[in-house]
Structure 1
Amino acid sequence: MPPPRTASRTTAPRPPEDRHFVTALARGLDVLACFRAGDKLLGNQEIAQRCHLPKSTVSRLTATLTRLGYLIQVEEGGKYRLGTATLSLGSAMLVRLDVRQVARPLMQELADFAHAEVSLGTRDRLSMIYVENCRSSAPHTASLDVGSRISLTNSAMGRAWLAAATVDDRNALLAQIRDRSETRWPAMQQRIEHAMQDYRSLGVATSFGDWQKNVNAIARSFQPGGGLPPMVINCGGPALRLTQDALLTDVRPRLIEIVARIETALYR
């Protein structure tokens, strides 16, 4: 599959009277979060553009994060890469994410059946992030891995998450997307509404060439419990091999069954 498109990112809006919100901390976390799976090095200018912050502010943040070990400055070019201190944050979360251990064998079963990639993901701001990924032995043009990000609005995974979200959460997110994509919003809104209808009638969200032109996928959301937000199982692959008919006729019933088995195992 082709590499994922860039996903928009923004800090969640907050009431102006929220005295407990630490803006400096939020901006520092935004800097760390703007590094994506395919990035090796980023400069202050690129970080400033992604975080929508002044370059002078970013310079202070990157200097602080470098001193703490969350970033490493590469002398040649003066750009930054994620530091080893970030490993403790991500690895601690993944190790304690029991749903991965429950879901993985069932995901692999579906991947082998469909000759596809099957992924587990959840929302991070305005994109979806992979927390587990299984693939069949069938050849793939490319592979997405844990930590990869994909579109919230154009991918089957993102649409399934939106279908599972509360009305308030969904409306708040869509308002952010609308504000950042005013000219494209009418077409985006129409596709999202159609996806919501698909989910109600089919039990899965679909993306047939919407996220990437030659990629088809379906996805179903579930509640993992333990205070975690909704998560999604996605099954997709190259459109030439994984046709719309194959996904809806053959794969969809198995995906729905597997998600039900995951929920049953988690709630025992």
Structure 2
Amino acid sequence: MSAAEILDAPDFEGAKEPDGAKEDRHFVTALARGLSVLACFGPGRASLANHDIAAACGLPRSTVSRLTYTLTKLGYLQHVAEAGRYRLGHAAIALGSAALGGLDLRGIARPRLRAVAEAANASVGLGVRDGLGMRYVDCQRGPAAISLNLDTGARISLARSAMGRAYVAVCAEREREAIYAALAARDTAAWPALRAGLDRAVAEHREIGCCTSFGDWQETVCAIAVGFHPGGGLPPMAVNCGAPRVVTDPGFLLEVARPKLIAAVRGLDGVMGA
């Protein structure tokens, strides 16, 4: 994948330091840059060269070379010498596995997600916020021969997906304002339409119990989602239910799948604090 393709990816935000980082004496810039290198990898970006990473992160290639060398020495990257590229290494994979393993909510949610997926003949995912995207931490599929090509670890749009909109609908007002500011700063031209969609989603969640995305994230995909607070110190999360239009349509999702999804999520609200 070229640097241009990485930058054009709809869920790639770049590796910008947060506002005020230079004035914050507690902020470790070198660590932030190393983590931003790791963040470049993802679905469709399994292997990258130094020049790809440099362009995506906005860093000099000499700096990226030192970062990738260090991360390789520590096991967070693996150097594929014959291709001159890097992949995520065992340490990064172990870290991700440990994070998922510590999320006990997945085990509690899985039977509920599976039941909705089978009843709706769709894919049902549990997701958490990841910057200006949503990251799948679990995914269950119904019996349909055709389903969404998403699995645990996949990252989707926060502003355009039903899952992301449901998260925005239930997060704290201060966090919502910060998300809005970041989205507006990232793309001023697209922001008015994104803002309208998010405001509409917040109202939807309050009025019908879920948020919708019928072709907004991907033209061929229909989905609904419900946000909730798992408790136990965990941040808000969201559960979606969706499928390609050839499998389902908005009417079915709203009339048949919606009550089942709302009932399933209601059983997860506050469950970690119980």
Quickly name the TM-score band, shorter chain normalised: over 0.9
Equivalents in 2 of 1:69, 1:178: separation in Å? 37
Contact 2:227–2:237, Cα closer than 8 Å, also in 1 = yes
CA deviation profile, 1:57-101 (whole Å, cap 9, x unmatched)? 222211110111111111123111001111221111111111000
SS in 2 for 1:76: coil
Aligned twin of 1:116: 122
CA distance in 2 between counterparts of 1:22 and 1:48 reads 19
Distance, in Å, in 2 between the alignment partners of 1:37 and 1:189 is 27
Between 1:129-138 and 1:73-82, the stretch displaced more is 73-82
Unmatched 5+ stretches in structure 2: 1-8
Q: Percent identity at matched positions?
A: 49
From 196, 210, 214, the counterpart of 2:220: 214
- Give the 3 Å change call, closer, same or farther, for CA 125–227 of structure 1 in structure 2: same
In structure 2, what is the equivalent of residue 102 of structure 1? Answer: 108
Measured in 2, the distance between the counterparts of 1:267 and 1:123 equals: 20
> Is the Cα–Cα contact under 8 Å of residues 9 and 51 in structure 1 kept in the other structure?
yes
Q: Is the 8 A contact 1:69 1:83 kept in 2?
A: yes
**Residue of structure 2 in register with 1:36 after alignment:** 42
User: In the alignment, what sits opposite 1:8?
Assistant: 13
* 1:217 alignment partner AA: A
1:246 and 2:256 aligned: no
1:205 correspondence with 2:199: no
Counterpart contact for 2:229–2:270, Cα < 8 Å:
no
> Match of 1:137, SS?
coil
Alpha carbons of structure 1 residues 124 and 12: separation in structure 2 relative to 1, 3 Å = farther
Q: Tell me the equivalent position of 1:157.
A: 163
Q: What residue is the counterpart of 2:83 in the other structure?
A: 77
Q: Give per-residue Cα distances to partners, 1:7-60, cap 9 Å, x unaligned.
A: 424456243542211111111111111211232210122212322333332222
Task: Determine the C-alpha separation between the residues in 2 that align with 1:9 and 1:167.
Answer: 25
Deviation (angstroms), 1:190: 1.7
Deviation at 1:141, TM superposition (A): 4.9
Counterpart position of 2:5: none
Matched to 1:57, the amino acid is: T
**Amino acid in the other structure paired with 2:183:** I
CA contact (8 A) 1:110 1:118 kept: yes
Taking the aligned partners of 1:199 and 1:12, their CA distance within structure 2 comes to 32
Mapped partners of 1:92, 1:218: distance in 2: 29
Q: What pairs up with 1:117-132 in 2 under 5 angstroms?
A: 117-132=123-138
Contact 1:102 1:266 in 2 (8 A): no
CA distance in 1, matches of 2:264, 2:17: 33
How far the C-alpha of 1:264 sits from its partner, in A, is: 5.7
**1:173 to 1:50, Cα distance in 2 relative to 1, 3 A:** farther
Change (3 A) 1:19 1:170: same
Q: How many residues align?
A: 265
Shift of 1:188: 1.6
- Secondary structure of 1:143's counterpart equals coil
Q: In the alignment, is the contact (CA less than 8 A) between 2:11 and 2:132 conserved in 1?
A: no
Shift of 1:211: 0.4
CA distance in 2, matches of 1:223, 1:5: 27
Distance, in Å, in 2 between the alignment partners of 1:224 and 1:262 is: 6
Matches for 1:111-190 after TM superposition, within 5 Å:
111-190=117-196
- Contact 1:203 1:220 (C-alpha < 8 Å) held by counterparts: yes
Q: 2: distance between equivalents of 1:215 and 1:266?
A: 32
| Alpha-carbon distance in structure 1 between the residues aligned to 2:239 and 2:14 | 22
8 Å CA contact retained: 2:147, 2:243: no
1:5 Cα deviation (Å)?
4.4
Kindly provide the amino acid, as one letter, of the partner of residue 98 in structure 1. Answer: D
Code of the aligned partner of 2:189: T
- Mean alpha-carbon deviation: is it higher for 213-222 or for 34-43? 34-43
**SS of aligned partner of 1:147:** coil
